[in-house]
Every structure is written in C-alpha cells, then in structure tokens.
Amino acid sequence: MTGTEGTPHAAGIGEALRRARIAQGLSLYALAFDLNLSVHLLEAIEAEAWDRLPPGRERPYTRQIAERLGVDPEAFTEQWNQLPGSQDQEPPDPRRENMERILMGALTAGTILLLLWLVVPGRNLRRPMAEAAAVADHAGPSHWVPSGPGGPYPVVGEVLPEVPVNEEGVLISMRSQDTCEVTVAADADPAAAQKRSLRISEPWRLRMKGPFTISLDNGGVVVLDVAGRRIRHGTAVGEPWKGRFGENGEWILPETPVDKEPPTAPESDQEGE
C-alpha cells in the first residue's frame, strides 16, 4: 500500500472504489455532491493517501463511499485491517451540524428572553399587581361562599350542593362542639339504629329512609341539619334531646306528654242531692 506517495494500489480498496465509480458513470464531482464530501477527500481515498485524511476518519469515509458504490470493503481483509482509524465512527454531516447549531442558538435565545421576562417585568405587568394589592387591602378578609351551577346543566369542576332528599333517603348532617352520643333509628326498623360518639368538630353525614328519630344525650353541643334545614332545638348543654322526623325530613314536634294519673274529679255535694 503506497498511501503516502498518493499512487493507487492495483488490488487496493482505493482502486476498487475508483473502478466501481467509473463503471457507474459517476465523476468525482457527482459522487462528492451526492455524499456531501469534498473532491479532494475522494481523490485521497482512491489514491489511498491516508495521511491526507482527518485522523480517525479513514475507515468511516471509506465505508461510506463503499456503501454508496456497492463495494464490500471487508473483502480486502488484509488491507482493511491495516487501514488507519481503529474505530468505525460515523462521518460528520455538515447539514446536521448546521441544524444543531441553529437549534442550540434558538434555545439559548429563548432562555435569555424568558429570564428577562421573569426578572424585568413590563409596566403592564406591574400595574395590575399593584392595583390588586390595593383592592385586597381595602376590601378586608373575604369569605368563601359556595355557588350553585350557573346554568341548567352542571359544568365539570363546579361544586354542586348535595341533594337534601333523594332515593337514598333524607340527608342528615351533625357537627358537635363537645362529646355527644347520637342515635339515629328508622321507625320501620328500630333494632337497626345507627349510633355514633361525636367528638369536637367531627362531622357526621348520613341518610335515612322513611320516618326516623334522632336522640342526643348532650343536645346543646350539637348543630343539626335535616334535609338542608337547620333544626333549632334550643336544648341547653348537658340536656338530652329527642326529635322525630317524617319521610321527607319534616320535623314532627313531640306531642304534649300525657299525665300518668288522670286528674281527680271534683267531689259532688251528696247532701245537696
């Protein structure tokens, strides 16, 4: 192999590539344009002048040209093994490198603009923030009030109030300010009564079907809502309370207690009779 002298070897890879190029009717300029390589580089490979190639690119360039011309470089086993460039690296693509430079430049410019927008806000951005802060100072603390749907159909994300009465029964909501034992029993099945010990600020929500009764052993500490209505039982702290409700949650007031012993009839004047 006479690579440093620039003369082609009769049985070398460079000569095989040259013959394949001529057989396909390709000039050096046409092949160089097709592979996006320089004419001087093709001439050096055909002349096996490996010292005129970039270090480490001898094998990749030779393999690229051989694949284009349909030549198997490994058919020249001895010369291929002695070819400079131990690693088969992919030859650089100028078009790909240009695209990478353009992409990196665009990313850098976008990052700089984003930092400037975050660090130095414009006048139009500062003004609404100052106005909102002033309004918040004068308005005082705001209280959140749940709102119903704005139209006839609910929209995803809206918080809808729970239906007071539905097919599952009447909605009962209780919240205690102290410990209280609660019993909720349906008139149809008193044995299946639900019992719970309420703690401070511990809510309990349940539904009951049909008429039912609610019993509180410390009624003065419990806030009770039945079917969406506040039940103002007026019981003092420590006093028990019991109330009965209809199938639609209506509060049925307790009947007037009946005396165990009937009142004594006035004595009649037998003598007068």
Give residue-wise pLDDT tens across range 36-74: 988 888 898 888 888 888 887 888 888 888 888 888 877
* 153 has a pLDDT exceeding 50: yes
Q: Which of 15, 6, 12 is nearest to 53 (CA)?
A: 6
Q: Is residue 247 situated within a structural domain?
A: yes
> Which residues have CB under 8 Å from 251's CB, separation 6+?
226, 229, 231, 243, 245
Q: Is residue 128 situated within a structural domain?
A: no
Residues spanned by the domain of 196: 165-252
The model's pLDDT over 73-108, given as tens digits with 9 standing for 90+, comes to: 777 776 677 676 644 445 556 777 788 889 999 999
> Which residues have CB under 8 Å from 250's CB, separation 6+?
227
Higher pLDDT, 94 or 259: 94
* 31 has a pLDDT exceeding 50: yes
CATH number reported for the structural domain that contains residue 201 in this entry: 2.60.40
CATH number reported for the structural domain that contains residue 31 in this entry: 1.10.260.40
Q: Pick from 81, 98, 114: which residue ends a domain?
A: 81
Q: Which spans in the chain are helix H?
A: 13-23, 28-35, 39-46, 58-69, 77-81, 94-119, 123-139
Mean pLDDT of the chain: 75
Residues of the chain with pLDDT > 70, as a percent, come to 68
* 200 has a pLDDT exceeding 60: yes
Per the structure, the count of domains in the chain is 2
